[in-house]
Structure 1
Amino acid sequence: MHPYSSRRERLLADLPAGVLILPTAPEQTRNADSTFPFRYDSSFYYLTGFEEPEAVYAQVIGDTPQAVLFCRPKDETHEIWDGYRYGPAAAQEKFGFDAAYSTDDLDAEMIKLLSNQPRVYFAFGHNPGWDLRLAGWINAVRAKARSGVHAPTELVDISARIDEMRLFKDAHEIDIMRRAGLINTAAHRRAMRTARPGQFEYEVEAELMHEYYRSGSRFPAYSSIVASGPNACVLHYGENNRRMQDGELLLIDAGCEIEGYASDITRTFPINGKFSGEQKAVYELVLAAHAAALQEALPGRSYDAMHQAAVNVLTQGLIDLDLIQGPFADAIEQSTYRQFYMHKTGHWLGLDVHDAGAYKQQNGDWRVLEPGMAFTIEPGLYIRPAANVPKAFEQIGVRIEDNIVITADGHDVLTADCPVAVAEIEALMRG
């Protein structure tokens, strides 16, 4: 069975009758009449596999189910200028739909699909324009009331159900994410080999992109962070235009995208190839926190257990380095570690770099890790100048991030080949 058809069947299982409507993402204007490279909506792609813009998936649910795709029509002139289009006939066959129509017919056909249906399933609030368009279709059906046609009376947000499906990766998805991790690992290794004092951060970013492109990843999964010196203490730094100095650390948080799936690796290393004493102390503390979190990445454990394990290690280490005051229990209770560690220890990973899925159950408890869940582990320390910070520790920013999948009996580190030990990094940089 077509993988996307199978996902659609799982989504629809046990849903009461109605019509599901899911549009892809809109094209985004960059400036004037130029657009950014198109990137489909992740949930739309998850259920259809269809990558073209201006598309809508509609699903009739009930005794006579029907999967329908609306897409751009074949148009020779447009294809001369902008490239190949599937068109409805080819798209219907390739992607396993029961019917396909041109987007030129979207309004008329959608009114037909919604007529005499009890409810609509929709991802409300994602795009105000589509919310309004759905309201217009429903009102058009209501206008036919005198002819005996009734409009849907129940609106159901389908987002959470799709998100829950996307949270659990199947073997096909994990294979893609593993490939993305291997490409990203090669890019980070390339950055370590080529980075030198005196370069600009964007020169290192160019090395990352070179490796992505040559390996078949046409786009990064997110804007790369290439942060040297003080910039490593800025969590979402993105300018990447500073000249790197001898004796500083370089923090790279970068990922590639393959077939829609993201890799997300962070590594921190000395620009001159050798950690100073203070840099090494902070780095190995973060590495120990990473290892502690990874030990909690097991089926049946609370998602938050990884974060708490990392916080415990970082807090004790900050006390040992005399950057915060003990005793340990007081430092935890008062969260004094948050001066240097102010974010969670990871996030879901998949079609979005911060992927879909709830972190807590409806009762407020953290959810339990289960096989197929994919996420990052990324503890860090960011030591900005302050009255309690010795000069030698100022502007040391370290983050270490890997990509993990929970298995039946443990976990799989998809990015395990990316150098992380001090000796391994220094040896690679010596070349």
Structure 2
Amino acid sequence: MNETHFLNCRHNLLQLMEEGVAIITSAPAKIRSNDTEYSYRQNSDFYYLCGFNEDNALLVLIKTSESTKTILFVEAYNDEHALWNGARLGVEGARARFSVDEVYASSEYGGMIKEILREHVNLYIDLYCDSPRIVEAKGAAQALHSMRGIKRHVRSIRDVTYLIRSLRLIKSDEEIATIRQAIAITAEAHHEAMKVCQPMMREYQLQAAMSYIFLNSGAVSEAYGAIVAGGNNANTLHYVDNREELRDGDLVLIDAACEWELYASDITRTFPINGKFSNAQREIYEKVLEVQLRVIEAIKPGIKRDYLQTYSEELLCDALIALGILSGERETLMEVKAHKKYAPHGIGHWMGLDVHDPCPYVDESGESLAFVSGMVMTIEPGLYFRADDESVPECYRGIGIRIEDNILVTQEGHENLSAMIAKSVEEIEGMCQN
């Protein structure tokens, strides 16, 4: 991402704000065990606005009737930290790199925040953030409120995250290009998993094959904990143990993807461990694939996710009837949610800086948002039949299938950003035989 992108993001946020001060904090470093830390992952909202990837930093946006100002607080350069953990950018480095109005050391924030808030009536923060810096800002606002001689002071504390995440819904060209890069690497990893998979491997060995592709391609992290679920394990939706043996004749469901420059991809493929679908596996797989293709085809500006959810459930219910797993009229079955036993999750979610982008699904009146060009959503129907479920024919028991792609809404309709990843029965079997 270039500086122009981040300038535009901050400009758009300031446009949404009324007069006041917005404070957005970096993510804290997190302890993994004793004196070891998890790999650092920046707060997505903070990164969206400035692209700075260090901890103990703050971004302050100030808007008056006449002007705006952006202040970045960063941890000062420290020789000891540079020795043990690497050099920080520091104040001078940040001034040279970022297109902000002022840069100060984070240690100066406490002494400056009361002055920054003086004469402003609105304070925009993450209302659910317990960062000491946010607590400090609220305390400064309360102190100003009680002081005599101040005609204007903070009277309203507002949620800045709703504004930021509303902006994050619509991806810029730069963001879409970054997501494409994450998907391209993920595509190679899924194809590698199909090529190397064979009976008697362990689930973690497939995960390792994919992780090698991620790291060797320069992606520093998975976008989420990988699911590599052989056989009946696929019927545990958030299965992450990835320790069991892959058995001849079973399917394996892989829900795994990388992130690139903090932007996620999110892909699921299900394929036969021995490279060839059985008749029963193929029956279910092609039903799920048909549902996914029809739902994707319906995506265009003006369509709402609520419609896609209902439409997908109707199609999945029809599939269950066709398979002989449910019997009766679709409307009656859906009214009692009979299909939810086998298709329990939603059709998809927003994706971007977070794999589950926490962007709004409804507007301020509670109405479902309509798609507009630039939104990115996963589409991931699935059918799941547990091995011990005697309500389904024996040949289907133990089969769990999900197919997931990442869809960009365009002005003309949609684009499947992950269309290059093998998905039809023929494509998958061909890839598995390579």
Partner of 1:27: 29
Identify the residue that residue 249 of structure 2 maps to in structure 1. Answer: 247
Give distance in 1, aligned partners of 2:68 and 2:135.
26
Contact 2:16 2:163 in 1 (8 A): no
Residue 102 of structure 2 is aligned to residue 87 of structure 1: no
1:11-48 deviation per Cα after TM superposition (whole angstroms, max 9, x unaligned)? 11153221110001111110101110110110110001
Q: Determine the structure 1 residue equivalent to 2:409.
A: 406
Q: Deviations over 1:114-135 (max 9, x none)?
A: 1222221111103364543332
Q: For the residues of structure 1 that align with 2:102 and 2:240, how far apart are their CA atoms? A: 44
Query: For residues 192 and 97 of structure 1, what CA distance do their matches in structure 2 show?
Result: 47
Q: Bigger CA drift: 378-387 or 218-227?
A: 378-387
Q: Structure 1 142/89 Cα, relative in aligned 2: closer, same or farther at 3 Å?
A: farther
Matched, 1:126 2:129: yes
Superimposed CA distance per residue, residues 300-337 of structure 1 (whole angstroms, 9 cap, x where no aligned partner) = 21222222232222111111111111222222222211
Cα distance in structure 1, aligned partners of 2:359 and 2:223: 18
TM-score by length of 1: 0.96
Q: What secondary structure does 2:157 align onto?
A: strand
Counterpart in 2 of 1:272?
274
Distance in 2 separating the partners of 1:100 and 1:363: 39
RMSD: 1.6
Deviation at 1:140, TM superposition (A): 4.4
One-letter code of the match for 1:213? L
Residues 14 and 319 (structure 1 numbering): CA distance in 2 closer, same or farther, change over 3 Å? closer
- Equivalent residues in 2 for 1:144-159 (5 A)? 145-146=147-148, 148=150, 151-159=153-161
Matched with 2:223 is 221
Counterparts of 1:225 and 1:293, CA distance in 2: 24
Comparing 326-335 with 219-228, greater Cα deviation is found at 326-335
Measured in 1, the distance between the counterparts of 2:69 and 2:298 equals 44
**Paired AA for residue 416 in structure 1:** A
Corresponding residue of 2:101: 98
CA contact (8 A) 1:381 1:399 kept: yes
The residue number in structure 2 matching 1:368 is 370
Work out the CA distance in 2 between the residues paired with 1:400 and 1:180: 18
TM superposition shift of 1:236: 0.6
Aligned residues: 430
On the 8 A contact 2:114/2:137 being kept in 1, the answer is no
Which residue number corresponds to residue 433 of structure 2? Answer: 430
Q: From the superposition, tell whether residues 27 and 14 of structure 1 become closer, same or farther in structure 2 (CA, over 3 Å).
A: closer
Q: Distance in 2 between matches of 1:423 and 1:222?
A: 29
Residue 350 (structure 1) shift: 0.2
Alignment of 1:7-406 (within 5 A): 7-13=9-15, 15-62=17-64, 63-127=66-130, 129-142=132-145, 145-146=147-148, 148=150, 151-384=153-386, 385-406=388-409
Note if contact 2:267-2:406 (Cα within 8 Å) is conserved in structure 1: yes
**Separation in structure 1 between the aligned mates of residue 155 and residue 396 of structure 2, nearest angstrom:** 62
Post-superposition offset of 1:147: 6.5
| Cα deviation 1:163-222 (Å, max 9, x = unaligned) | 110000011111111111111010000011111111111111001110001111010011
Where 1:21 maps in the other structure, the secondary structure is strand
Deviation at 1:378, TM superposition (A): 0.2
SS in 1 for 2:239: coil
- Whole-angstrom distance in 2 between the partners of 1:126 and 1:320: 49
Distance in 1, Cα, partners of 2:390 & 2:140:
62
Q: How far has the Cα of 1:7 moved from its partner?
A: 1.2
One-letter amino acid of the counterpart of residue 313, structure 1: L
Aligned partners of 2:176 and 2:123: how far apart in 1? Answer: 32
* SS in structure 1 of the partner of residue 28 of structure 2: coil
Q: Which moved more, 1:4-13 or 1:306-315?
A: 306-315
- Runs of at least 5 residues in structure 2 that lack an aligned partner in the other structure: none
**For residues 129 and 105 of structure 1, do their structure 2 counterparts lie closer, same or farther at Cα, with a shift above 3 Å needed?**
closer
Give 1:201's aligned amino acid.
E
Structure 2: how far apart are the matches of 1:373 and 1:127?
Answer: 30
Task: Report Cα offsets for 1:342-378 as digits up to 9, x if no partner.
Answer: 1110000000001132112334332211100101000
Counting aligned pairs with the same residue, the percent is 35
User: Matched residue of 1:183: which SS?
Assistant: helix
Contact persistence 1:289–1:309 (CA under 8 A)? no
Q: Is the 8 A contact 1:256 1:262 kept in 2?
A: yes
Query: Aligned letter for 2:39?
Result: P
SS at match of 2:259: strand
Answer yes or no: is the 8 Å Cα contact 1:264–1:353 preserved in 2.
Answer: yes
Q: Report if aligned partners of 1:141, 1:150 keep a CA contact under 8 Å in 2.
A: no
- 8 Å CA contact retained: 1:383, 1:396: yes
In structure 2, how many angstroms separate the alpha carbons of the residues matched to 1:372 and 1:262? 15
Task: Give the letter aligned to residue 74 of structure 2.
Answer: C
Bigger drift between 355-364 and 15-24 goes to: 355-364
> Contact conserved, 1:378 with 1:401, CA < 8 A, in 2?
yes
SS of the residue corresponding to residue 52 of structure 1 reads: coil
Residue 415 of structure 1 is matched in structure 2 by 418
SS in 2 for 1:39: coil
The TM-score normalised by the length of structure 2 is 0.96
Structure 1 unpaired stretches of 5+ = none
Please give the alpha-carbon distance, in whole angstroms, between the structure 2 residues aligned to 1:127 and 1:204: 39
